[in-house]
Structure 1
Amino acid sequence: MTHPYFVDAPYPRVLAHRGLTVDDAIAENSYASVAAAQRAGVTYVESDCHLTRDGEVVLFHDADLRRVTGDPRRIVDVELAELTALMEDRGGLITLRTALEAFPALRFNLDVKAPGAADAVGVLVAGHGERVLVTSFADARRRAAVESAARHAPPGAVPPATSAGRETIARVIWGLIARSPRLVASSLAGIDALQVPERQGPVRVVTPRLIEAAHAHGVEVHVWTVNDPADMRRLVGMGVDGVVTDRADVALDTLGPASNQP
């Protein structure tokens, strides 16, 4: 059964990678970048979750502040109030709580970056499962967030969708190489999407066999990070269901009028 995250939503999927930033003064994963993505017309925003010293989940990719603010400290060592001040002239800090409340029409694709953030992410998304997908490179962290959401969900709430971590993706690929339908099926059980790069070094990850296997089990395939219009068209032509892109505005124009059906 298709998860509500994908129902009544534009297809192919355009996931705005860390929001949309076309101005160097605006940082990725900032309030302004999420707002810009919404103004551009996207439905899906991809973002990342870290935990501040005082326990607030913030949308931030790196474990430290060096690249975005020039401050070398780790996010886990900085309290929310100070981090808010540091981001004031970079588009504004946005917490996960604020993102869910301030942008009710958006669907969020959340990568849990910090091990300590998994439980807190689950608590916050528990009542928003129909418009949240939870993922992580670490499958254990992904599962921890999904399990936390289940524990804290109100009665009748939909659990969040989930995308496979590295270990699961590796098992799927090995199952295809070994021609083991059983391994592929068991690896994809409970998974709603495979979110992968087209290549990992010299190895091609996205292949017709991977796409076919995923679709046979009701799993979507999203490719990151795709910024070239020709690549967007080529990948969608191969059968992928969506692209994660820094230029969601370009992707929306390139992929043309969206449908609501795969």
Structure 2
Amino acid sequence: MEARAAGPPPGDRGRPRVVAHRGASAEEPEHTLAAYTRAYSHGVDGIECDVRLTADHHLVCVHDRRVDRTSNGNGVISTLELARLEELDWASWKELDDGSSKEDADVDPERGRLLTLRRLLDSLVAQHEPLLTLIETKHPTRYGGLVERQLVTVLRDLGLTSGDLPQLPHVRVMSFSILALMRMRGLAPQVPLVYLVEASAPRFSWDGSLPRGVNIIGLDVRIVRRTPSVVRAHQRRGHEVYVWTVNEPDDVRRCADLGVDVIISDRPGDVLGLLG
């Protein structure tokens, strides 16, 4: 990654921190190094990625269970080995604003390369900055708790399991699965956890309640639109509030007015512009 322009520092419940969802995924193919480099150039406060296990137990940055939507291949991630996944093109599906594809515009052979979690974290560690780094483990999966065990192995190798340290990424592990979060708490108790809640979730999590050992809520933006009081309910209990996926200007302003801690967006450059 290239050095970025420094963004304004986030305040304590002042300007929300802005996190790039799968990188700057409105501008570049999601989960590619190009998407994260673009996000970094905007001066974001953090990045977000999803991880899945390959058949030979490598963690790769892919959202979907299947490769079909975001590559030129087909099949289920968990049944394919890393070498096969690395043969696929992960960029040419993405259309640019002028209607051309990355295949048409591609001058960088690295652009369509599959991104492993280790490679992404290596690139962040090399920046020597405390970039907020949100990692979502995807469930259900045939591998169950092996996902979290492999994640902790990678984090430990890079010195990222000892809490937030200066000049290193500040990792948060996220999941919709309470069981996955509890596994992480047992394996790496100093890594903060984020419980993700979508609009269809039970209302118990809207009163400020969180599973034991979890102090961050990740709210679907639709919840915040419909029930903004949920933000204050969690803040009263001392929880941080992250909101996803915030792309519309009205939602950005709503989140800022409510004092959320983190805005997760496909359009982080636009969000930073709106927040001034």
Query: Under a length normalisation based on structure 2, what TM-score does the superposition of the two structures give?
Result: 0.73
Q: Distance in 2 between matches of 1:238 and 1:147?
A: 33
2:187 to 132, 135, 148: 148
Residues 196 and 206 in structure 1, CA contact (< 8 A), matched pair in contact too:
no
Query: Is the alpha carbon distance of 1:82 and 1:218 closer, same or farther for their aligned partners in structure 2, counting shifts above 3 Å?
Result: same
CA distance in 1, matches of 2:78, 2:211: 33
1:128 aligns with 2:138: no
Percent sequence identity is: 30
| 8 Å CA contact retained: 2:16, 2:259 | no
Q: 1:146 to 1:49 in 2, by over 3 A?
A: farther
The 2-side partners of 1:9 and 1:145 are apart by: 29
Q: 1:227 to 1:204 in 2, by over 3 A?
A: closer
Q: Which amino acid aligns with 1:144?
A: R
1:112 to 2:112 alignment: no
> Structure 1, residues 90-121: CA drift from partner, whole Å, max 9, x if none?
53221111111111233211110044312111
Partner residue in 2 for 1:60: 62
Amino acid at match of 2:41: R
Match of 1:14 in 2: 18
Partner SS state of residue 222, structure 1? strand
Structure 2 CA distance for partners of 1:13 and 1:188, relative to 1, 3 Å: farther
CA-CA distance at 1:188 after TM superposition: 5.4
- Contact 2:70–2:90 at 8 Å: present in 1 too? no
Secondary structure in 1 matching 2:243 = strand
Letter in 1 for 2:222: R
CA RMSD of aligned residues (A): 2.5
Aligned to 2:262: 242
Contact 2:66/2:74 (8 A) holds in 1: yes
Higher helix proportion, which one? 1
Amino acid in structure 1 at the alignment position of 2:18? V
- List runs of 5+ in structure 2 lacking aligned partners: 1-7, 93-110, 165-169
Which letter maps to 1:190?
A: G
Kept in 2: contact 1:53–1:80 (CA 8 A): yes
Partner of 1:95: 116
Q: Which moved more, 1:48-57 or 1:66-75?
A: 66-75
Specify whether residues 97 and 170 from structure 1 end up closer, same or farther in structure 2 by C-alpha distance, changes over 3 A only.
farther
Task: Write the distance in 1 (CA, Å) between the matches of 2:233 and 2:214.
Answer: 13
Structure 1 residues 9 and 76: alpha-carbon distance in aligned structure 2, compared to 1, 3 A threshold: farther
Q: Is 1:223 the counterpart of 2:243 in the alignment?
A: yes
**8 Å contact kept, 2:197–2:217:** no
- 8 A contact 1:15–1:44 mirrored in 2: yes
Distance 1:87 1:144 in 2: 33
Instruction: Give me the whole-angstrom Cα distance separating, in 2, the residues matched to 1:148 and 1:169.
Output: 27
CA distance in 2, matches of 1:9, 1:81: 40
Asked if the contact 1:188–1:217 (Cα under 8 Å) also holds between the matched residues in 2, the reply is: no
Higher relative contact order (CA closer than 8 Å, sequence separation 6+): 1
Residue 191 of structure 1: aligned partner: 214
Looking at structure 1, the residues matched to 175 and 18 of structure 2 have their Cα atoms a distance apart, in angstroms, of 19
Q: In 2, Cα distance between the equivalents of 1:139 and 1:97?
A: 24
